[in-house]
């Protein structure tokens, strides 16, 4: 039976992004992390590549250690709700962290002509 799920859609999407951009550098944990990141809905606020947006900060290449990252996810008291180990197990959180650290670096802004024009006037 065809199962209609957003995670399926997003998983495929993220997997393709992942393989397109960072296949060589990715390890197994990071690959799994893309799927877990998708399934857990992290993209909702932090976007598909962890770049952030209005609803959540950039988390790709977070400067936090895994321990600090985990502590924040489990105990957040701010805009982000805390996610317990029951709904995001430690093993999944580790994979998410690995995925976020494996996302390819964005291009340098000075190499993007469209971003030079926006402040040229």
Region of 84 please: left (phi>0), alpha (psi -120 to 50) or beta.
Answer: beta
Which string of DSSP letters, residue by residue, matches 96-110? HHHHHHHSPPPPPGG
* Interface stretch with other proteins, choices 5-13, 24-32, 64-72, 94-102 (CB under 8 A): 5-13
> How many residues of this chain interact with other proteins, rule: CB under 8 A?
46
Query: Minimal distance in Å, beta carbon 95 to other proteins?
Result: 14
Rule CB under 8 A: say whether 30 interacts with other proteins. no
Residues 81-100 that bind other proteins (CB under 8 A): 81-84, 86-88
| Dihedral angle, C-alpha 106, 43, 97, 27, nearest 10 ° | -70
Q: Calculate the CA 82 to chain-centre distance.
A: 17
Rule CB under 8 A: say whether 66 interacts with other proteins. no
Rule CB under 8 A: say whether 49 interacts with other proteins. yes
Rule CB under 8 A: say whether 63 interacts with other proteins. no
The whole-angstrom separation of Cα 110 and Cα 17 is 23
Q: What residue ranges bind other proteins (CB under 8 A)? A: 4-7, 9, 13, 17, 21, 39-41, 43-45, 47-49, 51-55, 58, 60, 77-79, 81-84, 86-88, 106-110, 112, 114-115, 117-119, 121
């Amino acid at each position: 039976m065809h199962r209609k799920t957003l995670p399926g859609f997003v998983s495929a999407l993220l997997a393709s992004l992942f393989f397109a951009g960072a296949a060589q550098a990715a390890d197994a944990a990071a690959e799994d992390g893309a799927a877990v990141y998708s399934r857990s809905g992290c993209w909702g606020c932090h976007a598909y590549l962890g770049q952030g947006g209005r609803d959540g900060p950039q988390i790709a290449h977070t400067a936090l250690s895994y321990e600090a990252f985990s502590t924040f996810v489990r105990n957040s008291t701010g805009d982000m709700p805390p996610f317990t180990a029951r709904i995001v197990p430690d093993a999944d959180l580790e994979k998410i962290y690995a995925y976020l650290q494996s996302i390819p670096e964005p291009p340098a802004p000075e190499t993007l002509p469209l971003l030079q024009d926006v402040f040229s006037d």
